[in-house]
A = this chain, B = another copy of it.
Amino acid sequence: MSDRVTISQVAEEAGVSAMTVSNVLNGRPGASEETRRRVLDAAERLGYQPNLSARNLKAGRTGLIGVMTLDLTGQYGLEIVRGIADELASDEREMLISATYQEAVRELERTQFLARGLVDGVLMVAPALEDATLEALRRKNLPCVVIDPRRTDASLPRVTVDNYGGTRQAAEHLLELGHTRIAYIKGIADLESSELRYKGFHDALRLAGVDLDERLVAESDFTYTQGFRITSALIAEHRPTALMAGGDLIALGAVDAARACGLRVPDDLSVVGFDDLPQAAQTFPALTTVRQPLHDMGKLGTRMLLSLIDGRPLLMENMQMPTDLIVRGTTAPPADALPAAGEEDECATPSHGDDQ
- Cα distance, A73 to B89, chains bound together (Å): 15
Per the 8 Å Cβ criterion, residues 152-183 of A in contact with B are none
Q: Is the pair A284, B61 in contact by a Cβ cutoff of 8 Å?
A: no
Q: Is the pair B282, A116 in contact by a Cβ cutoff of 8 Å?
A: no
Residue of B nearest to A4 (CB): B117
Interface 0/1 of A270-297, CB less than 8 Å to B: 0000000011011111100000000000
Interface residues of A, count at CB 8 A? 74
Q: Is the pair B351, A285 in contact by a Cβ cutoff of 8 Å?
A: yes
Q: Is the pair B95, A97 in contact by a Cβ cutoff of 8 Å?
A: yes
Q: Taking the complex as formed, is A112 at the interface, i.e. its CB lies under 8 A from any CB of chain B?
A: yes
Instruction: Name the distance in Å between A256's Cβ and chain B's nearest Cβ.
Output: 3
Instruction: Name the distance in Å between A275's Cβ and chain B's nearest Cβ.
Output: 13
- Cα distance, A279 to B194, chains bound together (Å): 23
Q: Taking the complex as formed, is A320 at the interface, i.e. its CB lies under 8 A from any CB of chain B?
A: no
Q: Which residues of the other chain, B, contact A112 by a CB distance below 8 angstroms?
A: 49
Residue of B nearest to A95 (CB): B97
Which one of A134-142, A197-205, A236-244 is at the interface? A134-142
- Cα distance, A139 to B50, chains bound together (Å): 14
Q: Which residues of the other chain, B, contact A60 by a CB distance below 8 angstroms?
A: 1, 4
- Cα distance, A31 to B97, chains bound together (Å): 37
Given A78-B78, A118-B94, A351-B328, A256 contacting B278 (CB threshold 8 A): no
Which one of A12-20, A51-59, A123-131 is at the interface? A51-59
Q: Taking the complex as formed, is A85 at the interface, i.e. its CB lies under 8 A from any CB of chain B?
A: yes
Q: Is the pair B61, A72 in contact by a Cβ cutoff of 8 Å?
A: no
Instruction: Name the distance in Å between A329's Cβ and chain B's nearest Cβ.
Output: 6
- Cα distance, A179 to B61, chains bound together (Å): 63
Q: Taking the complex as formed, is A90 at the interface, i.e. its CB lies under 8 A from any CB of chain B?
A: no
- Cα distance, A257 to B282, chains bound together (Å): 11
- Cα distance, A250 to B278, chains bound together (Å): 14
Q: Which residues of the other chain, B, contact A52 by a CB distance below 8 angstroms?
A: 116-118
Q: Is the pair A352, B117 in contact by a Cβ cutoff of 8 Å?
A: no
The residue in A81, A281, A284 that gathers the most chain B C-beta atoms within 10 A of its C-beta is A284
Q: Taking the complex as formed, is A322 at the interface, i.e. its CB lies under 8 A from any CB of chain B?
A: no
Instruction: Name the distance in Å between A233's Cβ and chain B's nearest Cβ.
Output: 16
Contact of A140 among B2, B56, B82, B98 (CB under 8 A): B2
Q: Is the pair A49, B356 in contact by a Cβ cutoff of 8 Å?
A: no
Q: Which residues of the other chain, B, contact A285 by a CB distance below 8 angstroms?
A: 350-351
Q: Is the pair A284, B350 in contact by a Cβ cutoff of 8 Å?
A: yes
Sample 23 A-B pairs with CB under 8 A, ordered by A number. A1-B141, A1-B309, A2-B140, A3-B140, A52-B117, A52-B118, A53-B56, A53-B62, A54-B117, A57-B57, A72-B78, A72-B81, A73-B82, A73-B278, A95-B97, A252-B283, A253-B282, A278-B354, A281-B353, A282-B350, A285-B350, A328-B351, A329-B351
Given pairs A253-B282, A278-B354, 20 additional interface contacts (CB within 8 A): A1-B141, A4-B60, A47-B139, A49-B115, A53-B53, A53-B56, A54-B117, A85-B99, A89-B99, A95-B98, A96-B96, A97-B97, A225-B282, A257-B284, A278-B356, A281-B351, A281-B353, A283-B283, A283-B350, A328-B351
